[in-house]
Chain A
Amino acid sequence: KAGVTQTPRYLIKTRGQQVTLSCSPISGHRSVSWYQQTPGQGLQFLFEYFSETQRNKGNFPGRFSGRQFSNSRSEMNVSTLELGDSALYLCASSRKTDTGELFFGEGSRLTVL
């Protein structure tokens, strides 16, 4: 059974640009959550999608957005990138919404210059 797949794995952007990250969940999983991981703040919850609807949202500015497609694949977008957005962005999938029983992908490492 394939795990959670995230693309791209690494990317470098400059301040002011925007970026889109993609996540394919485990087959049969309908919930996709996004987390930001940095050395200073640890793992922080961005948002969760279930059946194409955002169900939960963390405390991040509106520059961070996401969506989920009918096949449960999800994308997150960060606009007007700032240096502080440099982080590992992790996607996690689960069978149901509002759960901590998550299966994480390998992450997308974003560097903002």
Chain B
Amino acid sequence: QKEVEQNSGPLSVPEGAIASLNCTYSDRGSQSFFWYRQYSGKSPELIMFIYSNGDKEDGRFTAQLNKASQYVSLLIRDSQPSDSATYLCAGGVGGSYIPTFGRGTSLIVHP
């Protein structure tokens, strides 16, 4: 079992909707979590990180962390076609902040 799990998708949402991307992790000791966006043929780009339980908002993006449930999510409000990409969830495993990546969820925002 991979330490960070994501549904590969694709997740398809209409323009203007809220896209909800989810991730679970197996290491209860994980302290840090990251969301990266990767456009096709490009390298990953960090869009959010979260270290504490609860919500963290940055513009249209909200990261949510629930350590009791070992669950991380990323909400994208007012989704745009330019948000279409693969979203990689990553968590620090084994007490390290070095991220272990999930396989990624493909998001498609259609007009």
Which A residues contact B (CB, under 8 angstroms)? 33, 35, 42-45, 48, 56, 90, 98-107
Further contacts, 16 of them, CB under 8 A, given A43-B88, A56-B96, A100-B33: A43-B101, A45-B98, A48-B98, A90-B44, A98-B97, A99-B97, A100-B32, A100-B49, A100-B97, A101-B49, A102-B44, A102-B99, A104-B44, A105-B43, A106-B42, A106-B43
Q: How far is the CA of A99 from the CA of B103 in the complex (A)?
A: 19
Known: A42-B102, A43-B101. A98 touches B96 (CB 8 A): yes
B1 smallest CB distance to A (angstroms): 14
Q: Enumerate B21-74 residues with CB–CB distance to A below 8 Å.
A: 32-34, 42-46, 49
CB neighbours (8 Å) of A44 from chain B are 101
Number of interface residues of B (CB under 8 A): 22
A42→B43 contact, CB < 8 A: no
Q: Contacts of B90 on A, CB cut-off 8 Å?
A: 43, 100
Contact across chains for A56 and B98 when beta carbons are under 8 A apart:
yes
Q: Identify whether the interface residues of B are mostly helix, strand, loop, or mixed.
A: strand
- Residue of A with least CB distance to B4: A42
Q: Which of chain A's residues have a CB closer than 8 A to the CB of B104?
A: 42
Total of A-B residue pairs, C-beta within 8 Å:
50
Q: How far is the CA of A102 from the CA of B100 in the complex (A)?
A: 12
- Taking a contact as CB atoms under 8 Å apart, the answer to whether B42 and A102 are in contact is no
Chain B, residue nearest A104 (CB): B43
Residues in B87-111 with C-beta less than 8 Å from chain A: 88, 90-92, 96-104
In contact, A103 and B101 (Cβ under 8 angstroms): no
Indicate if the CB atoms of A104 and B45 lie closer than 8 Å.
Answer: yes
Q: Which residues of B contact A102 (CB under 8 A)?
A: 44, 46, 99
Cβ of A105: which chain B residues have Cβ within 8 Å of it? 43
* Residue ID in chain A nearest B91 by CB atoms: A100
Those 6 A-B pairs whose CB atoms lie nearest each other, nearest first: A100-B99, A43-B101, A104-B43, A100-B34, A42-B103, A98-B97
> Do the beta carbons of B98 and A98 come within 8 Å of each other?
yes
* A-contacting residues, B68-89, CB 8 Å: 88
